[in-house]
Chains A and B, each alone.
Chain A
């Protein structure tokens, strides 16, 4: 196979697998949430509701596409695409097994963080372009929240980088192979604290409960996507879920040893997927257990607790790393 064909084929496959995963992850979340609340969840379409995501996608495709009169047409129409692109690009640097991925570049984790920081542009375009006060309020809250939680997220993600000494995601995963004790979540004290901080800031970055002030149903209807319908709404949902899955993969890679697991080597991607789904379900579990907190509480939590804590942890990790490599 010529190399340029491979260059096109791998991203194509990854992109489609991600889209397929998004459709079924929604079902997983609904089933999981239903079980938590002693319900059954989707059950009618197909065996055990397995065809429900397909039905949902068909329904969204057939819906009327409405553009509000007062909307800024270009910005409004472009917003879902601008929002979706970074959400899909984050999968570019994730290696799903040794050497299996779109491109395991040597600044992998930085690329992930940089691209996911771009999401705010699409989000704000949606909020502003709709020309709706709820959407604008939601976009403003999003800006607030993302400025506040970007730094703790980056610092928490940098701790495995410090422990490995490489920004390349493949290297970070390779450093955790061999035994269970090598997983960074089992690194004494630092690992557990970093994982908790990573999960908290991931929740905020994904705008999940308890940090979902920007789509707070009871006050802002649906936030920045209130005016969207049909496929544009579907694109925004797709982006959000793709971002969640991407963050879950990142969490599994940074702290849970990526593709390490028992059995032959070709089971690696499966273990990675299972770990990513574990992180996803952890986030879902939190989502369905907690209540939404106020805007000022969210900001206070970030600036007064999480940011100093992650900074302290980062500095202590640096000290530990230098001490263990005999730098003192």
Chain B
């Protein structure tokens, strides 16, 4: 019962803040709503006993990504010299696309029946996760690292002083 109530509360927060992200005109407010939405996602992870994912969600998304977005807003605003506002001119098209996506997800969920109860977690999930990443999934893990390295090199290339 408590689980349902918590999930409902989290869902309201999540959907509400996600809507506020796209609907608020003030770009800075949109970022703050995004921070709330990402924190709410961490709450959902926590509800599913995925503590490690919840902590990483907070650390990387709510902490890191928000910082970088805020940084980008401030820097670009200074370059343009005026307050940035978010426009909602294509709200109809956006609503249509999200409705189609929703229908798609509902369709998929209906075709694959979900278990009624969550299987009990008997092992230390964090430890298992760490072991799997470094044994069975070591190749994708390393490939991701290479991808990040390429991204960083690209960023440094663009940021280099003009000569």
Q: Which residues of A contact B (CB under 8 A)?
A: 72, 75, 105-107, 110-111, 113-115, 117-118, 120-121, 124-125, 128, 136, 140, 143-144, 146-147, 150, 167
Contacts and interface: CB of A to CB of B under 8 A. Distances in A.
A120 B67 contact: yes
A51 to B, nearest CB: 39
Interface in B2-61: 26, 28-29, 32, 35, 39, 51-52, 55-59
Contacts of B52: 107, 110
B151 interface: no
A111 B32 CA distance: 21
Interface of B: 26, 28-29, 32, 35, 39, 51-52, 55-59, 62-64, 66-68, 70-71, 74, 124, 126
Contact of B68 (A125, A140, A147, A167): A147
A192 B49 CA distance: 36
Contact of B55 (A75, A114, A120, A125): A114
B63 to A, nearest CB: 3
A124 B63 CA distance: 12
A146 B29 CA distance: 21
Given A106-B126, A117-B58, A147 B32 contact: no
Nearest to B58: A114
B32 A75 contact: yes
A75 B29 contact: yes
B70 A143 contact: yes
Contacts of B56: 110, 114
Contacts, number: 64
A187 B91 CA distance: 60
B62 A140 contact: no
Given A110-B52, A143-B71, A125 B32 contact: yes
Given A75-B29, A117-B59, A143-B70, 6 more contacts: A105-B51, A111-B55, A114-B58, A118-B63, A124-B70, A143-B71
5 contacts: A113-B55, A117-B58, A117-B62, A121-B35, A140-B74
Contacts of B32: 75, 121, 125
B66 A121 contact: yes
Contacts of A150: 63-64
Contact of B63 (A75, A120, A140, A167): A120
B58 A118 contact: yes
Given A118-B63, A150-B64, A107 B55 contact: yes
A105 B49 CA distance: 12
Contacts of A114: 55-59, 63
A110 B70 contact: no
A124 B59 CA distance: 16
A12 B29 CA distance: 32
A72 B67 CA distance: 19
Nearest to B73: A128
B67 A147 contact: yes
B58 A115 contact: yes
B141 to A, nearest CB: 15
Contacts of B51: 105-107, 111
Of residues A75, A106, A121, A146, which shows the largest number of chain B Cβ atoms within 10 Å of its Cβ?
Answer: A121
A120 B66 CA distance: 9
A321 to B, nearest CB: 14
B87 to A, nearest CB: 20
A140 B71 contact: yes
Nearest to A137: B74
Contacts of B63: 114, 117-118, 120, 150
Contacts of A106: 51, 124, 126
A110 B55 CA distance: 6
Contact of A110 (B29, B59, B62, B64): B59
A243 to B, nearest CB: 14
A106 B129 CA distance: 13
Nearest to B57: A114
A107 B71 contact: no
Contacts of A121: 32, 35, 62, 66
Nearest to A154: B59
Nearest to A117: B63
Contacts of A147: 64, 67-68, 71
